[in-house]
Amino acid sequence: MTDFHAWVSAHQLHFEDVLKHSLPAPELAPQRLHAAMRYSVLDGGKRVRPLLAFAAGELAEAERKRVDIAAAAVELIHAYSLVHDDMPCMDDDVLRRGKSTCHVEYDEATALLVGDSLQSLAFQLLAEHTLSDNPAGQLQMVRLLALASGSRGMAGGQAFDLASVGKQLALPELEFMHIHKTGALIRAAILLGAHCGNGLGAAQLDRLDHFGKCVGLAFQVVDDVLDAEADTATLGKTAGKDAERNKPTYVSLLGVAQAKKMAADLHAEAMESLSEFGAKAQRLRELADFIVIRKY
């Protein structure tokens, strides 16, 4: 088995190519919209969700060409959510991954249409390629991504997040928000990758889903810890930009030490969900480490 970091780099590189071919060509009309879609999706991010899909696909012995498409669909949903989140009426961010955000580089109306079009494209990809030997199973993949994206998934989590600014949330409410806002799509990435294979039963898919739930939450807890500690170190303040914005975080509710313990516990629970899979789950385990034990 190749080294984990080599696996990550190879898959990131390969996946960039998949995205380039999945997006409408820049010379196709309407050119400006297509250019803005490519600007917003390509050359950005660690591609955590696609990597999880690839790892789950390996576990399920899926053809990589199928997982390519499933991973692209999930990443397009993620990319659309970033474009819309950055808009002035949401988080009003001007920089993303060191580049101007879409509405700054283009304009707000274009950013709105970029997000809308990326969402349509995600479902187009899931419907127009063969991803499963069983078309009825493939329809379930479409449903799974739609549920994870919509008002009972990611977009619903955003709505909770908006409603929570300036409020005192309890821990279960904060967890509920994150399970939707970031967790739903992480779980969908893993399940869609696994569905591209054929062999997994319902109980095994449930284990994978529980792994995704734990990793998704741990990802957020670690984000909150890094935000708080980075600012403490670099700005000499005891809390980061989330605290400034008066947003509840795991650190604001639990303190840094307890938040770190929570991340470690979730990591252990995630690993436990994979125990039956043996060596096949190696990449998923490494990704869980990568997500939880990171410095940025």
CB of 149 to a second copy, least distance (A): 4
| Distance, CA of 225 to chain centre | 18
What's the chain's Rg over C-alpha atoms?
19
Q: Are strands 99-100 and 95-96 parallel, antiparallel or unpaired?
A: antiparallel
Q: Looking only at residues 211 through 250 of this chain, which bind a second copy when binding is defined by CB under 8 A?
A: none
* Nearer to a second copy (CB atom), residue 27 or residue 128: 128
Q: Looking only at residues 59 through 78 of this chain, which bind a second copy when binding is defined by CB under 8 A?
A: none
34: its two tokens: 């297509």
279: its two tokens: 């060596």
Taking contact as CB under 8 A, which single stretch among the options 3-11, 59-67, 137-145, 244-252 is the one that binds a second copy? 137-145
258 counts as binding a second copy under rule CB under 8 A = no
Q: How far apart are CA 142 and CA 149, in angstroms?
A: 11
Q: Judged by CB under 8 A, which of 9, 120, 198, 238 binds a second copy?
A: 120
207 counts as binding a second copy under rule CB under 8 A = no
3 counts as binding a second copy under rule CB under 8 A = no
Q: Judged by CB under 8 A, which of 93, 116, 209, 269 binds a second copy?
A: 116
Q: Judged by CB under 8 A, which of 53, 69, 155, 208 binds a second copy?
A: 155
Contact 22, 124 (CB under 8 A): no
How many Cβ atoms are within 10 Å of 279's Cβ, its own excluded? 8
86: its two tokens: 């950055």
Q: Judged by CB under 8 A, which of 12, 16, 33, 64 binds a second copy?
A: 33
* Nearer to a second copy (CB atom), residue 88 or residue 255: 88
117 counts as binding a second copy under rule CB under 8 A = yes
First-residue to last-residue Cα distance in the chain = 27
How many Cβ atoms are within 10 Å of 264's Cβ, its own excluded? 14
Q: Which of 236, 239, 221, 246 is nearest to 171 (CA)?
A: 221
Q: Which of 152, 225, 135, 136 is nearest to 188 (CA)?
A: 152
How many of the chain's residues bind a second copy (CB under 8 A)?
A: 56
CB of 195 to a second copy, least distance (A): 13
123 counts as binding a second copy under rule CB under 8 A = yes
149 counts as binding a second copy under rule CB under 8 A = yes
**DSSP character at residue 236:** -
3-state helix, strand, coil in the chain (%, to 5): 75, 0, 25
Q: Judged by CB under 8 A, which of 160, 205, 209, 260 binds a second copy?
A: 160
* Nearer to a second copy (CB atom), residue 127 or residue 268: 127
Contact 188, 159 (CB under 8 A): no
* Nearer to a second copy (CB atom), residue 67 or residue 177: 177
Contact 184, 154 (CB under 8 A): yes
* Nearer to a second copy (CB atom), residue 23 or residue 67: 23
> Applying CB under 8 A, which residues contact a second copy?
24, 28-30, 32-34, 37, 80-81, 84, 87, 89-90, 103, 107-110, 112-113, 115-117, 119-121, 123-124, 126-128, 134-136, 138-140, 142-143, 145-147, 149-153, 155-156, 158-160, 162-163, 176
